[in-house]
Structure 1
Amino acid sequence: MDEPGWDVDPEDGIASAVEVVGQQLRFLRETAGFHVPEFAERIGYGEDLVRKIERGARIPRPEYLDKVDEVLRTGGLVTSMKPSMRRARYPRKVRELADLEARAVELSHYSNHNVHGLLQTEGHMRTLFGGWLPAYSSDDLERVVSARLARRVVFDRDPAPAISFIQEEATLRRPVGGTMVWRRQLERLLEIGQLRNVALQVLPTNCEEHPGTGGLIEVLKFPDGSAVGRSDGAFNGRPVSDPKQLRVLELRYGMIRAQALTPRESRGLIEQMLGEP
């Protein structure tokens, strides 16, 4: 059962935490009197993986930590490391985005190419990521899907942030993953759209005036009055926080939102799609 885990990016600031966990695992193994070959056999993983994890070159999976805890009988000490390692296994950019989403009190998202990541079902995600080129390895595919699923906690926050989604109609009509996956995705949109803190709107394809042709727009606002935004079609696609630049993004977003269907009309359109043969 030699599951590879995830390689550690030495440039990632969380690499030191992975190294500390590796050192702790090595100390516990040696204190219990196990050499690597015997220990690897007992936990059901390869010697190479054990060595890489203990020197901080690999991020241990939760299953690995569970098995180590069981064999070394640490009474939950090793399994208590799971939350920090779960966070470490997500790509750095995803962690940074999740941190911003966790702090934001208002989130505005316009998506013109795909259903927004926070709205995607797991089946939809797997289809999208599975079609990327060059192709993800099976392990990396699991990593990016897990990272995107983890960001859903934004919907469980209390107090809840105000979240606005605008989706191009075309993103909803594209049958990503086939009929069943597509239908479940539309149902997911209806579920999220019912949340009291969420406004989900659809921009019809037949809309003649379209200020969103530059690509996606995202604006996150924080309790202290600061904000950060990004758009494919502005400022070279880089995140911005300057008030003048943010006003440009907010102006475009506001115009798109004004031309989109209302949340009630959008729900009706999605229900109509589900009823189409």
Structure 2
Amino acid sequence: MNTDGADESSWELDPEDESGAVIAALGRQLKMWRESAGLDRAKFGQRMGYGPNLIYKIERGTRIPRPEFLDKADEVLGAGGKIAAMKADVEKARYPKKVRDLAELEAKAVEIGAYDCGVVMGLLQTEEYARALYGMRRPAYSEDQVDRLVMARLARQNVIQAQPAPLLTVVQEETVLRRPIGGRMVLRRQLEHLLTVGSLRNVEIQVMPTAVEEHAGLAGSLQLMRLRDGTTVGHNEVQLVSRLITQPKEVQILDMRYGMIRAQALTPRESLTFIEKLLGET
């Protein structure tokens, strides 16, 4: 867990993420402003309301400060908006690179299709469901890491409400909708959320019943994105691997399998009725 007592002000930075250059530059600028104001880390931290260890890590570029930290630093150091102006660049670096890359593709998509056999698809998860998923990861994540990953997942969901919004089709395994991730009430609220999102005109949710005899998705989860420029790309994430699939032959195979999966699943209308039934049983 966090040793600074500052869980809510920053997140750990992945040293392999090239966005580290942005955070490192911010740290150097913050240090120069602090020294120009004649403050050591302890005095600056006292005025900011944070410990000197946190200030040290942010200045070294190993922690990502939250927007409110930058606003406060701008005020304390009398920077006249120059520190606060860095919030836009920091916001881009806030989320893990693989999440930013996927979000950028989803933002360019006119259609997103996904089959998920393990958990509720990320764009459809509630915050507490996502938090429960990350909270059970092993090796265990710190609270900072869980916060960062959950907020990144929720930020991706903005694509559903975008204008124009992409068509989102999702096939979920029945077993996923029965598994009480986070407990019974978390599952109930997740099912309720699926019913709400599934009623949107640009969203179609389908359920793959456990009892089906023919199933084209037994090789695992998949995601397809048809982009505005006419190209289609796939994405697959399993265990420690997150892979973008761009080879035409591989994309064609995924597209064929996804079409068969949708045909074998319940229709969107049947699926919402099925989810309502599950909700009543939960």
TM-score, length basis structure 1: 0.92
* 1:69/1:75 contact within 8 Å kept: yes
Aligned CA distance change for structure 1 residues 10 and 175 (closer, same or farther; 3 Å): closer
SS in structure 2 of the partner of residue 105 of structure 1: strand
1:276 alignment partner in structure 2 = 281
2:94 alignment partner in structure 1 = 89
Give the counterpart letter for 1:70 in structure 2: E
Larger deviation, residues 204-213 vs 73-82: 73-82
* 1:168/1:203 contact within 8 Å kept: yes
1:148 alignment partner in structure 2 = 153
Identify unmatched segments of 5+ residues in structure 1: none
Q: Hey, what's the Cα distance between the residues in 1 that align with 2:152 and 2:242?
A: 22
2:6 alignment partner in structure 1 = 3
Alignment of structure 1 residues 1-277 onto 2, 5 Å: 2-3=5-6, 5-231=10-236, 238-276=243-281
Q: Hey, what's the Cα distance between the residues in 2 that align with 1:37 and 1:194?
A: 53
Q: Provide the aligned length of Structure 1 versus Structure 2.
A: 275
* 1:162/1:197 contact within 8 Å kept: yes
Question: Share of identical aligned residues, percent?
Answer: 52
Aligned CA distance change for structure 1 residues 274 and 9 (closer, same or farther; 3 Å): closer
Larger deviation, residues 179-188 vs 238-247: 238-247
Q: Hey, what's the Cα distance between the residues in 2 that align with 1:232 and 1:42?
A: 44
SS in structure 1 of the partner of residue 245 of structure 2: coil
Cα deviation for residue 51 of structure 1 reads 2.5
Identify unmatched segments of 5+ residues in structure 2: none
Q: Hey, what's the Cα distance between the residues in 2 that align with 1:141 and 1:237?
A: 18
Cα deviation for residue 228 of structure 1 reads 1.3
Q: Hey, what's the Cα distance between the residues in 1 that align with 2:25 and 2:168?
A: 38
* 2:110/2:226 contact within 8 Å kept: yes
Cα deviation for residue 106 of structure 1 reads 1.2
* 2:165/2:202 contact within 8 Å kept: yes
Larger deviation, residues 222-231 vs 149-158: 222-231
* 1:214/1:232 contact within 8 Å kept: no
Q: Hey, what's the Cα distance between the residues in 2 that align with 1:165 and 1:68?
A: 44
Q: Hey, what's the Cα distance between the residues in 1 that align with 2:189 and 2:270?
A: 20
Q: Hey, what's the Cα distance between the residues in 2 that align with 1:118 and 1:231?
A: 15
Larger deviation, residues 89-98 vs 164-173: 89-98
Give the CA RMSD over aligned residues: 2.1
Larger deviation, residues 161-170 vs 30-39: 30-39
Question: Deviation string for 1:18-73 (max 9, x for gaps)?
Answer: 12212222232233332333212211222232222123232112332232123124
SS in structure 2 of the partner of residue 134 of structure 1: coil
SS in structure 1 of the partner of residue 244 of structure 2: coil
Q: Hey, what's the Cα distance between the residues in 2 that align with 1:178 and 1:38?
A: 45
* 2:98/2:242 contact within 8 Å kept: no
Cα deviation for residue 201 of structure 1 reads 0.8
Give the counterpart letter for 1:57 in structure 2: T
SS in structure 1 of the partner of residue 118 of structure 2: coil
* 1:2/1:44 contact within 8 Å kept: no
SS in structure 2 of the partner of residue 202 of structure 1: strand
Q: Hey, what's the Cα distance between the residues in 2 that align with 1:54 and 1:231?
A: 36
Aligned CA distance change for structure 1 residues 12 and 210 (closer, same or farther; 3 Å): same
Cα deviation for residue 232 of structure 1 reads 6.8
Q: Hey, what's the Cα distance between the residues in 2 that align with 1:124 and 1:37?
A: 39
Greater than 6 Å deviation, 4+ residue runs: none
Q: Hey, what's the Cα distance between the residues in 1 that align with 2:158 and 2:82?
A: 26
Give the counterpart letter for 2:203 in structure 1: V
